[in-house]
Structure 1
Amino acid sequence: MAGLSTTSARLARSTCRIGTRQYHDLHKLPGDRSVLASGPPGYSAVSGHVVTVFGATGFLGRYLISKLARTGTQVIVPYRDEDSKRHLKLMGDLGQIVPMEWDIRREDQIAECLRHSDIVYNLTGRDFETKNFTYDSLLVDGAARIARIAREEGVPRFVHMSHLNASATSTSKFYQAKAAGEEAVKAAYDGPTIVRPAGMYGYEDKLLNNVALWPIWWKLNQASTNIRPVHVMDVAQVLATLQNVPKFEGTLNLPGASTFTYQYLLDLADTIIIRDPSKAPHVPKILAQVVCNVLDKALWWPFMSKDEIERKFIDDSDVAGDWELTGVTPTEIEQHALLYMRRYRSYENFARPPSFPPRPATVGEAAF
């Protein structure tokens, strides 16, 4: 585990000489595999790694692929929709990003996507159910299928994305499925790495954007629910670091730097956007679930499910973080709030410097 924090230094050493190869360019992998880094630093390098990222077209996937490709790693990008992966092609040099069509129910396509890789990331998931995929079929059966095929094809390392709140006893079906998925992956693959981030924020997130657009849904539970949001770039950096670690078995919990209430997030959004506090009422839980259930069936795009409402009443787990094992320090949400929410400002206030609300006594540092 201690080797995880020294990866950045090894990456710098491995690319310091152009046209020569040193002993530290050779990375031994579990089993009989090894990779040899070469070439200049940056996108034109050749790290020697071949990586498959299932769920690459999602929120976290694009940032992980960017970090992998800039070190010269060849990335296999499984996709379902032709247009969903177009932006990923530009993240690497010629031949580094290799898109491959797949279906999570097709074992032959899964095997084709991962058989040449030395590490597989499973980021597949969705926080709402559809007519084609339930939580169990995607987060449990699908994850186990990918892990089993990775073992059968001899992939040395497998990284599975879970959630900080994953629990078999949770009142949320999503969190239950995440916990069941972890156990299914452990049964299908010997020694996987389980990564448990909290809710993530970034440009395309469902956190800061929704706080700015739909404050009424964040006033549920009297806006007193505790949350430990983590920056998506910090999580992506941890995942990218794992490619250079020969073996890391176990679970990495990645909560944000601090614990907040929903009310603080609402105050932060109001202060950043420079708007009057929302006058939206506090909606009872049962009423919110009924409204969302009706709208979710009436609209042709996913609105908000009953389980998402349920999760608004669940505090983030207070488990200690494992950041010290990764060499990455999580950043505070105030450092990025203006960057991600400036778009919601009026023209008159667009260039004004940011200000932040005072942190209440209930907002504290997370345990690392």
Structure 2
Amino acid sequence: MLRDEIITVFGGSGFVGRHVVRALAKAGYRVRVASRRPHLAQDLRVMGVVGQVQLIQANLRVPSSVERALDGASGVVNLVGVLNENGRQTFSRLHALGAKTIAEAAAGMGISRMIQVSAIGASTESESRYARSKAEGEASVLAAIPEATILRPSIIFGTEDGFFNRFGAMARFVPALPLFGGGQTKFQPVFAGDVAKAVLAAFERSEARGETYELGGPGTYTFEALMKFILDEIDRPRFLLPLPWAIGSVIATVSEIVGALPLMPVVITRDQLIQLRSDNVVADGAKGLADLGIAGETVEAIVPSYLERYRRYGQFHEREA
């Protein structure tokens, strides 16, 4: 049964956004997906009954389009974010100014429920521009809407993720995978579907108002352990090469230069290398998935289903004894 409430989701056409739209639609909400290119997100319409999921064009640099996307909504989710800067798509413009634009527009229209999806490690004191911009976005949202809920996920995994897929694809062509700083940085990967459940729970639980939750999955792994897991799943033996941070910085610089060329992927940026220096896990005493009633899926239960594409003969490849 459809509810009367409309929830506007900015960034709903992205990797995590698709999970969020599906979760909200399944719960009966009317979902309005605000996107710069709505014509590329038509598949989202089938995530609900006819007319339940609406697509609308919006650009965070155009406040009037943001207001149009929020018109009549009772809640808003901000998922807009990038891992790499590209042209006008900068951390400051999207994570900080973009969040501020959405929150202030929502507050001006009387919307008191907002879910801001940030990231573990967000801090104004961080050396990482990504982490600082995420913290600035959080501050702007809470200044405009004190009852907003902040969700800070660790690295997010799922079929279209940019972590397991990146290194799985890389392992097809290179003889070794890098372990920056020795590969001992810790991560607590969280399933995209669980992030979506957290968004839904944050809307429906009154105790979530004004709270911050750090979202990490059931397992904690070092970067090295995750690389070994990937190589084992795709059955491609590769050497794991420990690299000092200084060498990593040179590689990141070259990667950024090469990545500026057409059709060339960025392996790692200098800002991402800075982030790798700090563990990406839920802080002691922080509220997390369990506080939202979510158990959390494991890496082992989900990731193998989509890493098989990187095996030499795909899903039909039998592992060597």
TM-score by length of 2: 0.89
Match of 1:297 in 2: 260
Match of 2:280 in 1: 316
Asked if structure 2 preserves the Cα contact closer than 8 Å seen for 1:194 and 1:250, the reply is yes
Deviations 1:305-338 (A, max 9, x none): 3212322333214504422321101222111121
1:344 to 307, 310, 313: 310
Structure 2 CA distance for aligned equivalents of residues 64 and 218 of structure 1: 33
Structure 2 CA distance for aligned equivalents of residues 218 and 180 of structure 1: 32
Structure 2 CA distance for aligned equivalents of residues 278 and 169 of structure 1: 36
Deviations 1:70-99 (A, max 9, x none): 232211011112443122111111111111
Structure 2 CA distance for aligned equivalents of residues 354 and 206 of structure 1: 27
**Higher mean C-alpha displacement, 315-324 vs 142-151:** 315-324
Match of 2:205 in 1: 245
Match of 1:359 in 2: none
Measured at CA, do residues 352 and 302 of structure 1 come closer, stay the same or move farther in structure 2, by a change above 3 Å?
closer
Measured at CA, do residues 214 and 300 of structure 1 come closer, stay the same or move farther in structure 2, by a change above 3 Å?
closer
User: Aligned-pair distance for 1:255?
Assistant: 1.4
Structure 2 CA distance for aligned equivalents of residues 281 and 251 of structure 1: 35
**Higher mean C-alpha displacement, 277-286 vs 186-195:** 277-286
**Structure 2: which amino acid aligns with 1:315?**
D
User: Aligned-pair distance for 1:300?
Assistant: 4.8
Structure 1 CA distance for aligned equivalents of residues 46 and 320 of structure 2: 32
Structure 1 CA distance for aligned equivalents of residues 282 and 44 of structure 2: 35
1:328 aligned to 2:275? no
Structure 1 CA distance for aligned equivalents of residues 315 and 50 of structure 2: 42
Asked if structure 2 preserves the Cα contact closer than 8 Å seen for 1:66 and 1:91, the reply is yes
1:169 aligned to 2:125? yes
1:112 aligned to 2:78? no
Note the aligned Cα RMSD (angstroms): 2.3
Measured at CA, do residues 349 and 277 of structure 1 come closer, stay the same or move farther in structure 2, by a change above 3 Å?
farther
Match of 1:264 in 2: 225
Question: What secondary structure, in the 3-state scheme, does the structure 2 residue paired with 1:270 have?
Answer: helix
1:276 to 232, 237, 244: 237
Asked if structure 2 preserves the Cα contact closer than 8 Å seen for 1:75 and 1:97, the reply is yes
User: Aligned-pair distance for 1:352?
Assistant: 4.9
Aligned pairs for 1:90-109 within 5 A: 90-109=46-65
Match of 1:153 in 2: 109
Asked if structure 2 preserves the Cα contact closer than 8 Å seen for 1:218 and 1:262, the reply is no
1:230 aligned to 2:190? yes
Aligned pairs for 1:5-154 within 5 A: 45-154=1-110
Structure 2 CA distance for aligned equivalents of residues 83 and 65 of structure 1: 16
Asked if structure 2 preserves the Cα contact closer than 8 Å seen for 1:208 and 1:340, the reply is no
Unaligned runs of 5+ in 1: 1-44, 356-368
Asked if structure 1 preserves the Cα contact closer than 8 Å seen for 2:178 and 2:241, the reply is no
Deviations 1:18-52 (A, max 9, x none): xxxxxxxxxxxxxxxxxxxxxxxxxxx21222110
Question: What secondary structure, in the 3-state scheme, does the structure 1 residue paired with 2:243 have?
Answer: coil
Match of 2:162 in 1: 206
Unaligned runs of 5+ in 2: none
Question: What secondary structure, in the 3-state scheme, does the structure 2 residue paired with 1:125 have?
Answer: coil
Asked if structure 2 preserves the Cα contact closer than 8 Å seen for 1:272 and 1:354, the reply is no
**Structure 1: which amino acid aligns with 2:74?**
D
**Higher mean C-alpha displacement, 80-89 vs 328-337:** 80-89
**Structure 2: which amino acid aligns with 1:310?**
I
Measured at CA, do residues 141 and 47 of structure 1 come closer, stay the same or move farther in structure 2, by a change above 3 Å?
same
Asked if structure 1 preserves the Cα contact closer than 8 Å seen for 2:115 and 2:149, the reply is yes
Asked if structure 2 preserves the Cα contact closer than 8 Å seen for 1:211 and 1:218, the reply is no
Measured at CA, do residues 79 and 127 of structure 1 come closer, stay the same or move farther in structure 2, by a change above 3 Å?
same
Asked if structure 1 preserves the Cα contact closer than 8 Å seen for 2:34 and 2:55, the reply is yes
Identity %: 26
Structure 2 CA distance for aligned equivalents of residues 218 and 67 of structure 1: 36
Measured at CA, do residues 205 and 349 of structure 1 come closer, stay the same or move farther in structure 2, by a change above 3 Å?
closer
